[in-house]
Chain A
Amino acid sequence: MSNPLVEFKRVAKRFGDFVAVKSMDLSIDPGEFIAIMGPSGCGKTTTLRMLAGLDKPTEGSIYIDGQLMNDVRPHERDTPLVWQSLALFPFLNVRENVEFGLKMRNQDAAVRREKAMDWLDRLGVAEFAGRNVETLSGGQRQRVALARSLVTEPRLLLLDEPLSALDAHLVIRMQSVLTKLQRELGITFVYVTHSQSEAFAMADRVVIMSDGEVAQTAVPRDIYREPANRFVAEFVGRNNIVSGKVSAIEARRVSVESAMGQFSVIADEGRIPAAGADITFVIAADLVEISRTPGDAENTVACSLISEEFIGSVVTLFLETADGDELKVQLQERELVTLDHTSGGTFFLSWQSASAHMLPQ
């Protein structure tokens, strides 16, 4: 077990009355690809800026490589940041932009040039070395910004929504460029984003933030399948959230009485609720079956269709129970054909008890 590269210990950041980050604990291992995700204003960018020293924590301590960083000024650290706006210098050409960090470390001109060209070459933009940065396309500038940050060979690279300005197809390509780079270099990436697909596609672990606090830290699969709380369940993926009261317990099988009907949930060992307790569980929309006939599955709800959202191969159907509770189902587009979903009428949603994930109370 190696020592963590980055450690946040009860870190808080306030700007006047505004609390950007409340008591944050986080530990990042060397070589990890960490994505920090959350809605805007959740404190994710402030967290990143504190790592770069651009904002100073109001409380708590930040350690990088075991060293307390609270009072280390930005220019004294080697924590390059890839900016959302890219922040390339318009008065320098592409190569000079990449050389900047080396120049500030007073490296020899010949060495600077060589390293800058190596990195531009590695990122496939060497041919633009002499160009004005303003003449480059978004994707090319992105690569230049990456080269500029990596040229000093840092152990930690910070990325602030670097792909948010790119076209969708370029985002996919840059994601593979980034993951490949991170694997090859073996350095730690801390990647701030509001995009679930970016975070899940690239990160080893995802940190979900809400209102200045860490809501959950886990591998993408666990964030998706086993949200730690209601916020994560609502923010990530397409989840159906059902609340009710425990009516009976039989080993790990918990029966729940809710407004939508009687359901059963399999509780984790050691987290079995008491009878009569309030309980909330989550069923991911892609684990819900939809059918025209009631069948004999145990967790079944009758609904009518309200709307659908088509995004290529996957379709999300929004349905409503007789009482007006909304439920979502995600299925493959080709599965729609047998459903005859445009003709109205009643649909029956069902799921296996094991698919439901109980939220801790």
Chain B
Amino acid sequence: MSSTKAPARKGFNGYAATWRFPIIIWQALFFLGPLIFMVAMSFFLVKNYRMEEAFEFKNWQKMLTRGYFWDSYFLTLALATVSTIVTSVLAFPAAFALAFKVSPTVRRWALFLLIIPFFTSYLVRVFSWYVILAESGVVNALLAHIGLGPYTMLNTKFGTIVGYMTLTLPLVVVLQTFALANIDRNLVQAAHNLGCTPWRAVYRVIMPLAKTGLVVAALFCFILSFGDFVSPYYLGGSKPPTLPILIIDTTKSGQQWPRAAVVAVVMMVTLISIAFAALALAYRKRASR
């Protein structure tokens, strides 16, 4: 009788485990740990400018019953939503042209140029808007030629949105370009073949085909805008404050780290819910009945 080799042990695969291990450690160390700490901190108390471990709902009560918290919450939500819609709409024609109307070489160069803004600090780029948007700035000087203005653009919600877009527009164009460039061209031609005009095909065929990528691009735009501190602070004038500004203000006034943690937890919950909803939409398949 010949001896057969013992079958490989089930339940442990060294190769797969090796690849899985780092991400688990990473997530536990840098995401889950801090998150748990932050949630715990939102129940701590501050006495004589010093934080003490506790399990009290006082911070939650204080924040969630204040009108200014909810004003700030809905303002942040509204600004991020407007930023997402405006950015996605403005990015689409550019991404469409890059995906369908230019040669692969031009597309490569254009994508490279879209990455260049990220070489400079976002803060520096936001400051450069001062020269352009100020009442004596470039835009108003040009408008004066045709007898308009001057308009106040700095320290307004318009300024905030311009700032958000400085951060998000190049990224959204890049993500949308990838989404559009990867769709099956045969399907677009098949639509034309079935009597669909090129204009109609954009909405009827191209957008549904690129849906996942378009939604993910919009989601990135929303997340970056919602959590941004720089634009609402320097271009939006920080009044009324958005949630990230509220966090800074709260920590500065009387070392209220636990109350800031409440704001942060609310932001996290909001973003996680929106991300889940967006991804569900992005990956939704047609139900099969």
Contact = CB atoms under 8 A, between A and B. Distances in A.
B246 to A, nearest CB: 41
Contacts of B186: 83, 85, 87
Nearest to A148: B194
Contacts of B191: 89, 100, 104
Interface in A169-189: none
B195 A91 contact: no
Interface in B164-221: 184, 186-187, 189-198, 200, 205, 208-209, 211
A135 B189 contact: no
A81 B193 contact: yes
Contact of A75 (B196, B209, B289): B196
Contact of B184 (A74, A87, A105, A148): A87
Contact of A80 (B184, B187, B193, B286): B193
A286 interface: no
B196 to A, nearest CB: 5
Interface string B105-133: 00000000000000000000000000000
B20 interface: no
Interface in A48-70: 52, 54
A131 interface: yes
Q: How large is the interface on B (under 10, 10 to 19, 20 to 34, 35 or more residues)?
A: 20 to 34
A38 interface: no
Contact of B289 (A87, A90, A131, A134): A131
B289 A74 contact: no
For B193, B195, B209, B288, the residue with the greatest tally of chain A CB atoms inside 10 Å of its CB is: B193
Contacts of A54: 189, 192-193
Chain A binding site: helix, strand, loop or mixed by DSSP? Answer: loop
Given A87-B186, A104-B200, A74 B286 contact: no
Given A75-B195, A75-B198, A104-B196, A87 B288 contact: no
Interface in B261-289: 285-289
Contact of A131 (B193, B195, B288): B288
A56 to B, nearest CB: 13
Contacts, number: 71
Interface in A90-120: 90-93, 100-101, 104-105
A74 B198 CA distance: 10
Contacts of A75: 192-198
A79 interface: yes
A253 B104 CA distance: 63
Contact of A104 (B187, B194, B211): B194
Interface residues of A, number: 29
Chain B binding site: helix, strand, loop or mixed by DSSP? Answer: helix
A152 interface: yes
A245 B122 CA distance: 84
Contact of A92 (B192, B196, B286, B287): B286
B39 to A, nearest CB: 39
A149 B190 CA distance: 10
A73 B184 CA distance: 20
Given A87-B186, A130-B289, A132-B285, A74 B211 contact: no
Contact of A132 (B189, B195, B197, B288): B288
A132 B189 CA distance: 21
A127 B205 CA distance: 25
Contacts of B200: 104
A41 B256 CA distance: 74
Contacts of B192: 54, 73-75
A52 B193 contact: yes
A278 interface: no
Contacts of B285: 132, 134
A54 B193 CA distance: 8
A29 interface: no
A78 interface: yes
Contacts of B211: 91
B183 to A, nearest CB: 10
A89 B207 CA distance: 12
B89 to A, nearest CB: 21
Nearest to B201: A75
A135 B288 contact: yes
Contacts of B189: 54, 74, 87
A85 to B, nearest CB: 6
A85 B184 CA distance: 10
A37 B235 CA distance: 67
B286 A93 contact: yes
B195 A152 contact: yes
A35 B287 CA distance: 38
Contacts of B287: 132
A105 B189 CA distance: 16
Interface string A116-142: 000000000000001110110000000
For A54, A79, A89, A149, the residue with the greatest tally of chain B CB atoms inside 10 Å of its CB is: A89
A93 B208 CA distance: 13
A91 B208 CA distance: 7
Nearest to B189: A54
B235 to A, nearest CB: 39
Which 9 pairs across A and B sit closest by C-beta, in order of nearness? Answer: A130-B289, A87-B190, A104-B195, A91-B208, A101-B194, A74-B192, A132-B288, A132-B286, A104-B196
Given A54-B189, A74-B192, A75-B195, 5 more contacts: A52-B193, A78-B195, A93-B289, A132-B285, A132-B288
Interface of A: 52, 54, 73-75, 78-81, 83, 85, 87, 89-93, 100-101, 104-105, 130-132, 134-135, 148-149, 152
30 contacts: A74-B189, A74-B193, A75-B196, A75-B198, A80-B193, A80-B194, A81-B190, A87-B184, A87-B186, A87-B187, A90-B209, A91-B208, A91-B209, A92-B286, A93-B288, A100-B191, A100-B194, A101-B194, A101-B195, A104-B191, A104-B194, A104-B195, A104-B196, A130-B288, A130-B289, A131-B288, A132-B286, A132-B288, A134-B285, A152-B194
